[in-house]
Amino acid sequence: MKLDRLVGKHGRIGRTAARRVIVAGRVRVDGRVEVGISQEVDRFARVELDGECVREGGRRIHVMMHKPAGVVSATRDAEHVTVVDLIDDPDRDELHLVGRLDRSTTGLVLLTNDGNWSKRLMAPEKKVAKVYLVETRDVIPVGAVEEFARGFYFHTEDLTTAPAELELLGERRARLTLHEGRYHQVKRMFHRIGNRVVALHRERVGEIVLPAELAPGGWRYLTKEEVEA
Ligand code: URA
């Protein structure tokens, strides 16, 4: 909602008077003076007029989880346990996933009730890095590094995958950094070089790293720094 409309409605002064008080610097959004009458204000922002609360902000929730294998990246599932089932928060039903992992994949999953935050993190133009540890059935040839960097053509979507960084850690072990998130992307990329992923684990999304002390099935709220990164 635009700030003038919100102040007019919740402050019961009407939109015209709301514009006057905003321009005069009497309105604060999350503690900061805001003079933009058309500023979009989401449901989480606390809005004050002359230091009096006009509208209490909602509770923003940002969670990281170490997803165990066998748990589905969904909010509800008739058959399987979901990541949301594992979160003990009174408002957990408001949460949505910021990118999914396959049921067999382990590692970092992010959840939030803040749609603007998840949109920013998922926006294709932001090219946020997703880092995976991969174990494969067969030996990964050195030439794969070049192939992953060049990209693979996916018929279904009619596109070529963006340059991905493959770092070989062992004969059948690698770290893969993607800057996009297509359906089953890691598995499909390895399939294209005639190999097969036998274990997949996500270590990082953007600047948010799965901490070593967070055991499978464990979760915690993100810190302010992690949310802002
Ligand atoms: N790529 C996959 O193939 N699976 C995942 O879970 C994530 C990325």
Q: How far apart are CA 127 and CA 117, in angstroms?
A: 15
Q: How confident is the model at residue 133 (pLDDT cuts 50, 70, 90)?
A: very high
Architecture of the structural domain at 3-55: Roll (3.10)
CATH of domain 62-228: 3.30.2350.10
Q: Which two tokens stand for residue 78?
A: 């008739």
With the most atoms of ligand 1 within 8 angstroms of its CB, the residue from 67, 132, 133 to mutate is 132
With the most atoms of ligand 1 within 8 angstroms of its CB, the residue from 200, 201, 204 to mutate is 200
H or E, element range at 140: none
Domain ranges (residues) in the chain? 3-55, 62-228
**Across 82-100, average pLDDT:** 96
**Across 43-53, average pLDDT:** 95
With the most atoms of ligand 1 within 8 angstroms of its CB, the residue from 66, 105, 108 to mutate is 105
Q: How far is the centre of ligand 1, averaged over its atoms, from the C-alpha of 184 (Å)?
A: 4
Residue 127 pLDDT: 93
Residue 156 pLDDT: 93
β pairing state of 197-205 and 106-112: parallel
**Across 21-43, average pLDDT:** 96
Q: How far is the centre of ligand 1, averaged over its atoms, from the C-alpha of 104 (Å)?
A: 9
Q: How far is the centre of ligand 1, averaged over its atoms, from the C-alpha of 42 (Å)?
A: 32
Q: What is the pLDDT of residues 201-216, one digit of tens each?
A: 999 999 999 999 999 9
**Across 51-77, average pLDDT:** 95
Q: How far is the centre of ligand 1, averaged over its atoms, from the C-alpha of 51 (Å)?
A: 49
Residue 200 pLDDT: 98
Q: How confident is the model at residue 198 (pLDDT cuts 50, 70, 90)?
A: very high
Say what percent of the chain tops pLDDT 90: 99
Which atom from ligand 1 is nearest to the alpha carbon of 184?
3
Which of 14-18, 68-72, 74-78 is the least confident region? 74-78
Q: What is the pLDDT of residues 140-184, one digit of tens each?
A: 999 999 999 999 999 999 999 999 999 999 999 999 999 999 999
Q: Do domains 3-55 and 62-228 have the same CATH topology?
A: no
- State the catalytic residues: 102
β pairing state of 52-55 and 47-49: antiparallel
Which atom from ligand 1 is nearest to the alpha carbon of 105?
6
Q: Within its chain, how far is the Cα of 90 from the centroid?
A: 21
Which atom from ligand 1 is nearest to the alpha carbon of 102?
6
Q: How confident is the model at residue 95 (pLDDT cuts 50, 70, 90)?
A: very high
Residue 225 pLDDT: 96
Q: How far apart are CA 3 and CA 10, in angstroms?
A: 10
**Across 45-59, average pLDDT:** 95
